[in-house]
Amino acid sequence: MTVTLPAGSFDTDAGSDLHPNLYNEDLAPLPEKKRRWGSFEIFNVWTNDVQSLAGYTLAASLFVTAGINGWWVFAAIILAGFFVNFLVNLTGKPSVRYGIPYAVMARSSMGVRGAQLPALIRGIVAIFWYGAQTYFASTAVALALDAIFNSPALPTFLGMDLIDWVSYVLVAALQVLLFVRGIAWIERFLNFAGPAVYVVMIVLLVAIWVQAGDRLLPAVGSIFNNASVEGWAAVGAFIGVIGTMIAYFSAVIINFGDFARFSKSEKTMRRGNFLGLPVSLTFFTFLSLFITAGAYIVLQGGEGEPVTNPAEIVGLVGNVFLTIIAAITFVIATVGINLVANFIPPAYDLSNLAPQRISFKAGGYLTAAFGFIIGALWVAVISQVGLPVFVDTLGAILAPLYGVLVADYYIIQRRSVKVSDLYSMSPTGRYFYQKGWNGRAIVVIALAAVFSIAAVWVPALAALSGFAWVIGALLGAVLYVAAMWSYRPVDHGLTSEAVTASTASN
């Protein structure tokens, strides 16, 4: 069974036959007249991702655990920003050109049915991140409530007391409410959240710096050092920080097409990426470094481990009004990026599993439900492995998918996609492969994932844990090209003339 799309619905291949199990309005190519995002909107996607509570906590954790001078960690995070900028420009380009989301673009390499596998994997990882970010946002609400009620002693369940649970439910409900209101509300939400968080963090830094005085600058370089980390170990720690930060962005790196498809042009996308990644990440990391170091010497008296959650740092100030304002701001920032980076993509991915049964909105509700369970288990179960390990693991799972996606578009498909065949179950379709599955790509992803995940969890490979994403992506790309080098569209029913014609039509 096929459905015929009215002429004009596609910018290319108008009137093509579309299979109902591969198409709905949310998965269709976005017409150029609906691509209204400029550089500012792309910038906002990244700046909100950078400045979430989890983003700050990860950066601060790396300062504490890397064991090298804080300035070197700062430099490593900035380099990671440039690298991520390069990576997302690669994945964003085809979606800007064709207006298609990641779940559809993946069909080119995995097959029209096989693409459900990477979309599902990406969706599951995003749901884990969604639950984690929901929990982090709720800690800010809990901090404010504790400040108001003077931290009452309450029984706990799964590591959280009644105030923690009330805060968690409130944040989860707020996110669903924003999702129901639509993308326009989310865009306005992000436009407010970005500047607001920076205002609070700058005020916090100024307050801490005034008290720290000339002690702060020396502390930045000294308090994070570990004398045992030197020589090649220090080099490895530096590169490991870069790898972990790349892994942090991995969920958005692979499905950046979900956002890039809204861009007016590739130029606006690239400008937004640059401002939102290297530039914004540099400024935010500077704030994170100095606030973490300053809070340690001023608010903690140089005792114990430095606090890595900015909401907790605000709580140490002891000002109820400041705590409430900061809590609201941090919640807004974390909720905003959680919706964009970890809610909308899995909604697309789940919809892609059964387009005629699961709408984008239904996919969103499923994401909210599963994510709620993940976040509820964060304290008691998931957090026990540590945030950097959590980040590296999710990055290692996604890395081979990125390698395959990029290698397919730029090398195997030679930057040309036949859009109509991405929605077709015809045996002669360019992306039908074997019954809709590209078995070679699946084997490649499985092999690469084994190595990248092992780099995180196998003790003998502990030195490679920060490189897990890079290992997985490179292995995925190299193995995919090797597996597909002799494989041509003619292998599954297209003549060379048909291939030439389809390439010219795109």
How much is the pLDDT for 17? Answer: 62
Encoded tokens for 295: 């809070």
Name the most confidently modeled range: 97-101, 301-305, 501-505.
97-101
Q: What are phi and psi of 157, to 5 degrees?
A: -140, 125
Residue 473, pLDDT > 60, answer yes
Instruction: Name the nearest CA neighbour of 238 among 65, 411, 14, 98.
Output: 65
Query: Distance between terminal CA atoms of the chain?
Result: 25
Report helix, strand or coil for 160.
strand
Q: What's the whole-number mean pLDDT along residues 162-178? A: 91
Asked which of 57-61, 105-109, 369-373, 463-467 is least confident by mean pLDDT, the reply is 463-467
* DSSP β-bridge partners for residue 17: 4
Tokens 């109902």 locate to 20
389 neighbors 468 (Cβ within 8 angstroms): no
Main-chain phi, psi angles of 161, to 5 degrees: -90, -175
> Computed from CA positions of residues 256, 346, 406, 499, in that sequence, does the dihedral angle turn out positive or negative?
negative
SS3 157: strand
- The answer, yes or no, to whether residue 362 has pLDDT greater than 80, is yes
Establish how many alpha carbons lie within 13 A of residue 350's alpha carbon, considering only the half-sphere containing its beta carbon: 24
Phi, psi (rounded to 5 degrees) for 3: -120, 145
DSSP line for 411-441: IISTT---GGGGG---TTSTT-TBTTB-HHH
pLDDT category at 20 given cuts 50, 70, 90 is: confident
Residue 5 pLDDT class (50, 70, 90 cuts): very low
Task: Enter the tokens of residue 468.
Answer: 């897990």
Backbone angles phi, psi at 152, to 5 degrees: -65, 150
Give yes or no for residue 14 having a pLDDT over 60.
no
pLDDT value at residue 228: 63
d(CA 401, CA 408): 11
Q: Which residues pair with 161 in a beta bridge?
A: 156
Phi, psi of 434 (to 5 degrees): -105, 100
- Tell me the pLDDT tens digit for each residue of 76-118: 999 999 999 999 999 999 999 999 988 899 999 999 999 888 8
- Contact assessment for residue 483 and residue 440, using Cβ atoms and an 8 Å cutoff: yes
d(CA 485, CA 154): 62
Long-range contacts of 495-502 (CB under 8 A, 24+ apart): 499/430, 502/416, 502/418, 502/421, 502/430
Residue 367: both structure tokens together: 């994401």
pLDDT mean over 227-254: 82
Distance CA 35, CA 389 (A): 37
- The burial class, CB within 10 Å (0-12 / 13-18 / 19+), for 136 is buried
Distance CA 165, CA 182 (A): 26
CA angle (358, 362, 364) in 5-degree steps:
125
What pTM was computed for the model? 0.79
- The per-residue pLDDT for 4 is 36
Average model confidence (pLDDT) for the chain? 82
Cβ neighbors of 484 (< 8 A, separation 6 or more) are: 408, 412, 440, 441
Positive or negative: CA dihedral 244, 245, 248, 251: negative
Tokens of 163: 């105030």
Domains and CATH numbers, the chain: 36-402 (1.10.4160.10)
What residues form DSSP beta bridges with 3? 18
Q: What is the pLDDT averaged over residues 9-36? A: 70
Which structure tokens are listed for 218? 């020396």
- Site of tokens 């906002």: 44
Q: Roughly what angle, to the nearest 10 degrees, separates helices 162-181 and 360-376?
A: 170
